[in-house]
């Protein structure tokens, strides 16, 4: 499989569902991460051919080590939103994935997420190294970004500037 043409900025359009909303019709804060993780799962399978729940990942898989969502503008019930995800950091046993939720026109940033994932042995619960073919995919789709947990405001500023350009 050639990795040179893999999508670095995959997108996923989704409608905000009624059961995921609070009594005011806004997407419940606790559900944003579910939307981001679901979008990334779709992106990884569709664009990189990796079924995270298939046989290949039955012995080792990624678990969330740390996550954060910054809520900037409300996503409302029945709104169509665009969720973009990208790999902004990786190592031999971890990934840092960024998600951006935009309004349907892709003009307004509604929320941004960061998820730090560790690749582990499911039987032993200990970190393991990514296989070489995964490292090749990561190298191909990596979009370096200046992000560190605790400095989210700087990254949000950069994202808003990029959307306005």
Indicate whether 154 belongs to any domain.
yes
Is 4 contained in some domain?
A: no
C-beta separation of 44 from 52 below 8 A: yes
pLDDT in tens, the chain (165 residues): 557 689 999 999 999 999 999 999 999 999 999 999 999 999 999 999 999 999 999 999 999 999 999 999 999 999 999 999 999 999 999 999 999 999 999 999 999 999 999 999 999 999 999 999 999 999 999 999 988 888 888 888 888 898 888
Quick check: is 64 in a domain?
yes
On whether residue 5 sits in a domain, the answer given is no
Q: Quote the number of domains for the chain.
A: 1
Whether 110 is in a domain gets the answer: yes
- Count CB atoms within 10 A of the CB of residue 116: 16
Q: Within a domain: residue 140?
A: yes
Domain holding 115, by residue range, is 11-164
Q: Is residue 60 part of a domain?
A: yes
Let me know: does 74 contact 2? Beta carbons within 8 Å: no
CA 110 – CA 72 distance, rounded (Å): 5
Among 28, 48, 35, residue whose Cα is nearest residue 139: 48
Judge whether 1 lies within some domain: no
User: Going along 72-135, which residue ranges are E strands?
Assistant: 80-90, 94-103, 109-121
CATH number at residue 154: 3.10.129.10
Q: What is the pTM of this model?
A: 0.89
pLDDT of residue 2: 58
């Amino acid at each position: 499989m050639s990795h040179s043409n893999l999508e670095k900025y995959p997108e996923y359009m989704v409608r905000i569902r009624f059961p995921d909303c609070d009594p005011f019709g806004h997407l419940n804060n606790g559900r944003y991460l579910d939307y981001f993780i679901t979008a990334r799962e779709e992106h990884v399978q569709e664009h990189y051919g990796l079924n995270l729940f298939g046989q290949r990942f039955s012995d080792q898989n990624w678990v969330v080590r740390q996550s954060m969502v910054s809520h900037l503008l409300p996503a409302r019930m029945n709104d169509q939103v665009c969720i973009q995800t990208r790999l902004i950091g990786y190592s031999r046993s971890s990934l840092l994935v960024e998600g951006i939720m935009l309004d349907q026109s892709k003009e307004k940033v509604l929320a941004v997420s960061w998820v730090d994932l560790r690749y582990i042995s499911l039987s032993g619960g200990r970190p393991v190294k990514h296989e070489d073919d995964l490292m090749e995919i990561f190298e191909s789709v990596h979009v370096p970004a200046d992000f560190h947990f605790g400095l989210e405001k700087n990254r949000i500023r950069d994202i808003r500037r990029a959307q306005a350009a």
